[in-house]
Structure 1
Amino acid sequence: MAVEFSDVLSEPAIEAAARLAADAARRRPAERLEAHVEVAVRRSFCPCVHAIEDGIEGGLSGVHAALLEEVGRRARRLAGRLA
């Protein structure tokens, strides 16, 4: 992740977003995990990480994509434990 986001993208914040996504997946298993991850990232992180960066880059920013990937990886792991 980019250094300028190190305060926002802390380990506990990423893990909390993954738990949020995994819990949502457990409650609504018919929905794609990726959809739960997208919502969890929007709810867990300030727009400077996703919306503003996406606007600057004209689409899904590198930081946003990496965050979705990491939260998704952790959420899959957690969801597997909850199953």
Structure 2
Amino acid sequence: MTALIGTLASSSRIARAQALASKPPEVDSLAVRIVTDNQIIKWIPTEKRDGLTIERRPGGNLRPDAAPSVDLVAEWGLSMHAE
């Protein structure tokens, strides 16, 4: 393992990215919806932070000690939808 790390460290190079030709676009608001995650915790309430609101879907399993009625407990993967 030490030999492998030494070989990788000695042959590594640094690459610099080119600067963007224009400024990135600015938006007034952005909504990102997590469609599928590897953990679903339904009983955590909606949160508001400085410049950010985390809205959680109401309904489903609202008790941590009860099995979900129709929703998945967990599904592997992550999918996001941005508006």
User: Relative contact order, CA 8 A, sep 6+: which one is greater?
Assistant: 1
TM-score by length of 2: 0.22
Q: Which has the higher strand share?
A: 2
Query: Is the radius of gyration larger for structure 1 or structure 2?
Result: 2
Q: Which has the higher helix share?
A: 1
